[in-house]
């Protein structure tokens, strides 16, 4: 009876050793980058450990399209040891929600292929469409004016986009304002000024007039400025 018990104990010990072996564990197998800027690179370190009782051998690390994964700091981990796997993601040409995978091939008999994953939301490129007209102001009040007087207002604006901005037309309401611009074509980042002139001749009371710019701005091709004035009789 004692001999049978000893044999069963020995068999259980051998079986347990065979079950254990090398064991790959990951602290956090999934990672979320959250919102990230377009045309940029982000990276994250996954930490792997050997929780088994035999040496863990990392044979290969493979990444899905759009990301790269470096080999761990060392390819052989003794029981209890840990290592980092650095993963980089390139957002160029991508927009919206993304999910990518990294596969670790090892001598873990139970899980020879371990999958890591990460998600991200790539924000849209607001300048991707081209030129953007950026005005310093949108309205101006000349206040109280004597009839027959002429007042002017200068507005600064620039091309905040990434391609040439073209001022295609400038229209004023009622023919009572005149607008001139110091440049009709602006390179990215270039700034100029718009001069608006208001003639109060034959006008009376509280007035409002508009000046509309027509451009190739891909977001707002038409932008309107408003001027106000209160015209009183000559003294």
Q: Name the pairing type of β-strands 205-215 and 222-232.
A: antiparallel
- Domain that residue 196 falls in: 133-232
Q: What is the pLDDT of residues 5-20, one digit of tens each?
A: 455 455 555 444 445 7
Can you tell me the mean pLDDT for 107-123? 94
Q: What is the pLDDT of residues 55-80, one digit of tens each?
A: 999 999 998 776 788 888 899 999 99
- The structure's pTM equals 0.49
Question: Is 4 a member of any domain?
Answer: no
Residue 36 bridge partners (DSSP) = 122
pLDDT for 183 beyond 80 = no
Contact 133, 157 (CB under 8 A): yes
Please indicate, yes or no, if residue 1 is contained in any of the structural domains: no
Q: What does the alpha-carbon distance between residue 85 and residue 148 come to, in Å, rounded to a whole number?
A: 77
For position 36, which CATH number holds? Answer: 2.60.40.10
Instruction: With respect to residue 82, please indicate whether it lies within any of the assigned structural domains.
Output: yes
Cα separation, 190 vs 157, whole angstroms: 9
39 shares its domain with 111: yes
Residue 138 shares a structural domain with residue 169: yes
User: So what's the pLDDT on residue 175?
Assistant: 62
117 shares its domain with 142? no
Q: Are 64 and 118 contacting, i.e. CB atoms less than 8 angstroms apart? A: no
Residues 115, 137 within the same domain: no
């Amino acid at each position: 009876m004692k001999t049978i018990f000893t044999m069963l104990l020995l068999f259980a010990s051998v079986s347990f050793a065979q079950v254990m072996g090398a064991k790959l564990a990951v602290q956090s197998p999934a990672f979320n980058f959250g919102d990230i800027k377009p045309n940029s690179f982000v990276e994250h370190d996954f930490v792997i450990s050997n929780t088994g009782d035999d040496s863990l051998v990392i044979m290969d690390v493979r990444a899905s399209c759009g990301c790269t994964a470096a080999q761990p700091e060392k390819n052989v981990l003794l029981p209890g040891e840990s290592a980092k796997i650095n993963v980089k993601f390139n957002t160029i040409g991508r927009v919206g929600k993304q999910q990518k995978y990294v596969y670790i091939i090892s001598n873990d008999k139970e899980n020879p292929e371990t999958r890591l994953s990460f998600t991200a939301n790539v924000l849209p490129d607001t300048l991707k469409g081209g030129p953007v007209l950026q005005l310093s102001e949108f309205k101006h009040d000349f206040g109280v004016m004597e009839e027959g007087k002429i007042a002017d207002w200068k507005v600064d604006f620039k091309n905040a986009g990434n391609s040439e901005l073209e001022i295609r037309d400038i229209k004023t309401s009622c023919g009572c304002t005149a607008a001139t611009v110091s440049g009709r074509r602006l390179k990215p980042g270039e700034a100029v000024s718009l001069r608006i002139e208001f003639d109060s001749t034959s006008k009376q009371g509280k007035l409002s007039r508009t000046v509309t710019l027509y451009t190739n701005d891909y977001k707002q091709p038409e932008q309107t400025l408003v001027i106000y004035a209160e015209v009183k009789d000559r003294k």
